[in-house]
Amino acid sequence: MTDTILPAIALVPGDCTGIGPEQTARILAEGRLSDVARPVVVGDARVLEMGMVHAGVKLEVERITSPKDAAWQSGAVQLVDLANTDPAQFPIGKVSAESGRLTGETLARAIDFARAGEVDAITFAPLNKRAMFDGGWKFPDEHKMFASLLGHQGYFSEMNVLDGQWMSRVTGHQALREAIEAITPATITEAIELADRMMKKAGIARPRIAVAALNPHAGENGLFGRDEIEMIRPTVEAAAKRGIACSGPYPADTVYIRAFAGEFDSVVAMYHDQGQIATKLRGFNRGVTVTAGLETVFTTPSHGTAFDIVGQGIAKTGALESAIRLAAQLVAAKGAQSQAA
């Protein structure tokens, strides 16, 4: 791919109290992603400078007013300096509502650039959901914030991508008691269809989707729960009859073993931790979260702000690098599908 066709990706350093700034600085210094994307940092120059100090690197930075003005051929890091966040005001490794507010503000500006067609995707370093909520962004997670800012109507969800596996779920960031009530034939169907659609967008022609059970041992044939018999299996079979390569429900304590062995391309979990525990054990520092179902491509590491190691220069960058690569892959696949249509 030549420089002119590489996707332009807004790279947001995340919450300045966490490891995002140093991860961002290290990735840009190492330049290993120049073959897949043209990153433009959206944030505050002071945050990036702090990240350089923490990572022990030095960058040549060119400040621009908008991604459309980026001159990637210059070799300098392209930075839209929002001048909105002074990291000296926020102790590292501690939750700050004001830092959360500014993190949301920075992401909102990146979304503006995406809506204007100035960037093709947004990759953001770790943020803190509690800080953002306390800072005034009254959403349980950033995905719902993105949907609101984009005016999105309809179903969407986060998915986790690791080692070629696309892990999704029927319910997300909510109390487990609430999640169980939210598991219905309609929401199961939406989750299956979204997983199928997202993987096809990523270039998987016929994704093999396993659907997890809700109860232990898939209810043991009704011995402790009939959700699998009366709701989940009929819903999965109905989706399969419409042409989706899905099957299940499978016991949740074994289905991920089968998936990572290559039997499936995706597992649709019933609730958040059912899938997250398996994927984070598999590769905590490598997994990527993608907001599935929105027009704009959003990717981020699956891990958090790692307050315990901020500023030590030891934060690994593998998941953030993978997030950028996945964003570029989704943009490229979207472009190829548009041309084919």
The predicted structure's pLDDT at residue 60: 97
Q: Is the pLDDT of residue 52 over 60?
A: yes
Classify residue 272 as exposed, middle or buried by CB count within 10 Å of its CB (0-12, 13-18, 19+).
middle
SS3 124: strand
Note the pLDDT of residue 17: 98
Mean pLDDT over 284-305 rounds to 92
pLDDT at residue 55 is higher than 50? yes
Strand ranges (E), 48-147 = 61-64, 77-81, 121-124
Residue whose C-alpha is closest to residue 48's, from 76, 13, 17, 97: 13
Give me the long-range contacts of 223-230 (CB less than 8 A, separation at least 24): 227/183
Q: What per-residue confidence (pLDDT) applies to 2?
A: 42
- Judge whether residue 160 has pLDDT over 50: yes
SS3 338: helix
What pTM value is reported for the model?
Answer: 0.90
User: How far apart are the C-alpha atoms of 92 and 82, rounded to whole Å?
Assistant: 20
The answer on pLDDT for 219 being more than 60 is: yes
What pLDDT is stored for residue 1 in this prediction?
Answer: 38
Q: Is the pLDDT of residue 16 over 60?
A: yes
Q: Which residue has the tokens 């990523």?
A: 202
> Sign of torsion, CA 18 21 25 31?
positive
Q: How far apart are CA 159 and CA 288, in angstroms?
A: 8
Report the pLDDT averaged over residues 279-302. 91
Q: For the CA atoms of 57, 58, 60, 64, what is the dihedral angle to 10 degrees? A: 70
The Cα–Cα gap between 253 and 238 comes to: 24
Average pLDDT over residues 89-102: 98
Q: Is the pLDDT of residue 337 over 70?
A: no
**How do residues 221-276 score in pLDDT, each as one tens digit?**
999 999 999 999 999 999 999 999 999 999 999 999 999 999 999 999 999 999 88
Tell me the average pLDDT of the chain. 94
